[in-house]
Structure 1
């Protein structure tokens, strides 16, 4: 028996009318902005590293510490959503990203930059949780397809983000060349755009009574949810690390210039976005869990093949995007279908723990790179290349672990006739 709140949600979620278009605009444009904020850092990182004199381990530490802002936001966004509604959570997250761009522009010391970056990740975390909750509420049919389609816009902006970032950092205005600080300010200012449909739209689910929600305590007793946390964590580490490390890897291992390295990152995100555009219906047809197992395994194998084959196999780094792209949206589809009355709580729980893993993962990539580099000679070209190869191998290993956990989850759910 459906509650009146649930009936209202379904009515609001029907794919017709001005309000639904505003909901879709908030989600789709929101993911475009999210893709910009996450992936303009690839070309900027070597410049940030040079400006502040950071080695690879310090760089990994910076990325992991700033991910704590993301993790902090994940931990409280679900609670705030229940208190003030998804509309105002969206407004706050977009606004904080605009403000962080101003802070980054003004940061002239490492401490101020770290604080500004930390603040940006808080906005990112709030935005990711907010968009995931909104998607779970409005995509009541063809969930895998719609989740992947919405995340396709993340991939779409990620294709052009590195090229736009590189282009902006080479633009001269009145004889002054823009740097990475100015680039961040310009790109993050675009977050003003999705604030318009977020302000004008009405959003479903905020009026669901507390008694109808699944409690966090009940969710933690579900073994399947813990496996979902694990596979999402390793999948996202593998996905997000590419934006942080691929340009660095290609520039320092193969001596590619900034344009070529950024271009390969853009090709990765082209494969990434096309996979989300076209593989969503496949996940609906063959099943979410089986899709996760196959696709993450493909990504891990591509990554290792790229490292082993050397510069000639660099295109395989981009091909890995085909497999890793559907992981996050497909997991969100699993949560939306499995935990209908507690999707906001399940998403917050899952993504928060995923954030912990991402912090550790970013640190490990930097630590592995630095450690292996010192083993083979910190000041030698061979040491640098071996270190970068070891660090990037960890990215591929995470994708394979994601596939293995998906296999365990598949068997667990199949025995209970609960496959999705």
Structure 2
């Protein structure tokens, strides 16, 4: 096995202050880009004569590119500088967004969506990995700040399309291309840490290392399944139990806003408590809130609570993973890729469960996933103490 482990420079910081700010803007960009495809569907159907499933392929190709981008940039990261990785990713996003905005035909637009997705994956992987190692004891706090900016972009994207009109989606993608290109100079303040070969794990600990990695993969897939499941099915569930379409849509917007707010609110807690303790509280709170969605009168507030508790999971888990498996430099890439795959697969799988059991079963289905996430978190705490410490 030839994995490498990233070592931060002696100064302990991989980012200058301007580079850290530019990185947060970069996460606003990728949040906005991901959120543009759905609102653009009416315009895409009109321009290319597509069916709804056909128009939805744009987002699918974007995610496919994202997964490939995460794994590809991880594979070459040991041979290129951090700055080159980020600059190349922004360049791919700029090219992909430009191509999607100007494509004369749908096949070329899909190719452009895949190209932009490659850059999206590179930024998602690169900045998460570097923030997890680049700020010392403040890395968990900074990762939450970084990922909160993704939520800001995810709110801005649909707002821009709504303001311009879905038939003018090309301007929104063009704006993303300009912003991506403008962020390339901001990579100058990203330093490159020393990369050293990993030390082989002791035979007695090797099984534990694979168990820890499997546990983190399960943790991320389960949490992304809950996150995407609530985002995709909350409006339908609330309307079914008696809320108006407008009220259900507003409640779903609040859910996403709480995910952004939760990442900012947890920052001071990350400076006092270990990531595993925060994740345990998050999993328990998320499960309790999902069970409360069974009560019609408090269901919208309970879904908002799910957003608040699930918000810190993705960024808070990465520093724990880095600390637990310092000898496996590729671990972060695998869990980020798994989270993307989970985000695509979870809504249709939940849809199959809802078709079999009815929409009223949604809280129970999500609660089972959340409870499983809590169980995996507790198991990981025991496993990492045994094999890592």
Q: With the length of structure 1 as denominator, give the TM-score of the two structures.
A: 0.75
5+ residue gaps, structure 2, are 1-5
Post-superposition Cα deviations, 1:106-139, rounded to whole Å, max 9, x if no partner, equal 4576544443333332222111110112112311
User: Could you tell me how far 1:326 is from its partner in structure 2?
Assistant: 0.3
The structure-2 alpha-carbon separation of the partners of 1:181 and 1:60, relative to structure 1 and needing over 3 Å to count, comes to: closer
* Number of positions where the alignment pairs a residue of Structure 1 with one of Structure 2: 379
Alignment map for 1:34-183 (pairs within 5 Å): 34-44=30-40, 52-54=50-52, 66-107=62-103, 111-169=107-165, 178-183=167-172
The structure-2 alpha-carbon separation of the partners of 1:410 and 1:220, relative to structure 1 and needing over 3 Å to count, comes to: closer
Q: Greater shift after overlay, 296-305 or 82-91?
A: 296-305
Partner of 1:185 in structure 2? 174
**Equivalent of residue 218 in structure 2, options 230, 243, 249:** 230
5+ residue gaps, structure 1, are 171-177, 376-385
User: Could you tell me how far 1:94 is from its partner in structure 2?
Assistant: 1.5
Partner of 2:245 in structure 1? 256
| Alignment partners' CA distance in 2, 1:68 and 1:351 | 13
Contact in 2 for aligned 1:169/1:180 (Cα 8 Å) = yes
User: Could you tell me how far 1:256 is from its partner in structure 2?
Assistant: 2.9
Correspondence 1:364 to 2:360: no
Partner of 1:285 in structure 2? 272
User: Could you tell me how far 1:232 is from its partner in structure 2?
Assistant: 1.3
Secondary structure of 1:119's aligned partner = helix
Partner of 1:210 in structure 2? 197
The structure-2 alpha-carbon separation of the partners of 1:220 and 1:82, relative to structure 1 and needing over 3 Å to count, comes to: farther
Alignment map for 1:342-361 (pairs within 5 Å): 342=328, 344-361=329-346
- After superposition, the CA RMSD in angstroms is 3.9
The structure-2 alpha-carbon separation of the partners of 1:52 and 1:302, relative to structure 1 and needing over 3 Å to count, comes to: farther
Secondary structure of 1:25's aligned partner = helix
The structure-2 alpha-carbon separation of the partners of 1:244 and 1:96, relative to structure 1 and needing over 3 Å to count, comes to: farther
Alignment map for 1:12-51 (pairs within 5 Å): 13=13, 20-44=16-40
Secondary structure of 1:208's aligned partner = strand
The structure-2 alpha-carbon separation of the partners of 1:231 and 1:118, relative to structure 1 and needing over 3 Å to count, comes to: same
Partner of 1:412 in structure 2? 383
Partner of 2:316 in structure 1? 330
User: Could you tell me how far 1:147 is from its partner in structure 2?
Assistant: 1.9
| Alignment partners' CA distance in 1, 2:87 and 2:136 | 24
User: Could you tell me how far 1:329 is from its partner in structure 2?
Assistant: 0.6
Partner of 2:262 in structure 1? 275
Q: With the length of structure 2 as denominator, give the TM-score of the two structures.
A: 0.80
Contact in 1 for aligned 2:31/2:154 (Cα 8 Å) = yes
Secondary structure of 1:89's aligned partner = helix
The structure-2 alpha-carbon separation of the partners of 1:249 and 1:169, relative to structure 1 and needing over 3 Å to count, comes to: farther
Secondary structure of 1:13's aligned partner = coil
**Equivalent of residue 194 in structure 1, options 146, 171, 183:** 183
